[in-house]
Structure 1
């Protein structure tokens, strides 16, 4: 089973702040973010503060762009995802970030 890779956001629907991130396995990365937030030790202190204040129900996970696996070998997907993330931030004019 292939796991989706791409760029996603964690959005606080109360204040519209977002954390933009990317991963070759978005499901696992989202689960890691949720666990860190749940246990109160997320590396982004501002996101953690808002999570504690607003609660988990005020946050949504949204895929912004998926990157499809290519048939070519030796592709640096980490680098491709970083470029895609920068493009998405610029294209969507995202400013209200954590």
Structure 2
């Protein structure tokens, strides 16, 4: 790959606007929801799915439900989105506040991690 193309790709990555928001993994059978604040929705869904498939997810309740019902027993949902206007800004506090609102709205929901 030539240097100008590499530089162009690096710049495009730095300026990308990731999809951010509150994600949920919902068990269809029990109605339990596990919510997370995500700075990169596709990456976090991928990460959660991989950890669950390999049996290494830190949320034991979610892992037990996954083991019982499998991937087909879950819905992967984006509950709320947050627009990324500045790629250098830390959206963590905004995402946490948005997740807390979603947790308050659903009595069967809990945090997926931390």
Classify the TM-score, shorter chain: 0.7 to 0.9
Aligned length: 95
Structure 2 match to 1:19: 34
**Alignment RMSD (CA, Å):** 1.7
Q: Which runs of no fewer than 5 residues in structure 2 stay unpaired?
A: 1-15
Could you report, residue by residue, the CA deviation over 1:9-53 in whole angstroms, capped at 9, with x for unpaired residues?
000001110100011101101111000000011100010001001
Tell me how far apart the structure 1 counterparts of residues 62 and 42 of structure 2 sit (CA, whole Å).
19
> Which residue in 2 is equivalent to 1:83?
97
- With structure 2 as the length reference, what TM-score do the two structures score? 0.76
Instruction: Return the alpha-carbon distance in structure 1 between the equivalents of residues 51 and 90 of structure 2.
Output: 27
Q: 2-side partners of 1:97 and 1:70: how far apart?
A: 29
In 2, the alpha carbon distance for the partners of 1:42 and 1:26 equals 17
Is 1:50 the counterpart of 2:87 in the alignment?
Answer: no
Distance (whole Å) between structure 1 residues aligned to residue 101 and residue 29 of structure 2: 26
Give the whole-Å Cα distance in 1 for the aligned partners of 2:21 and 2:50. Answer: 20
Unaligned stretches of 5+ residues in structure 1: none
Structure 1 runs of 4+ with >6 Å offset:
none
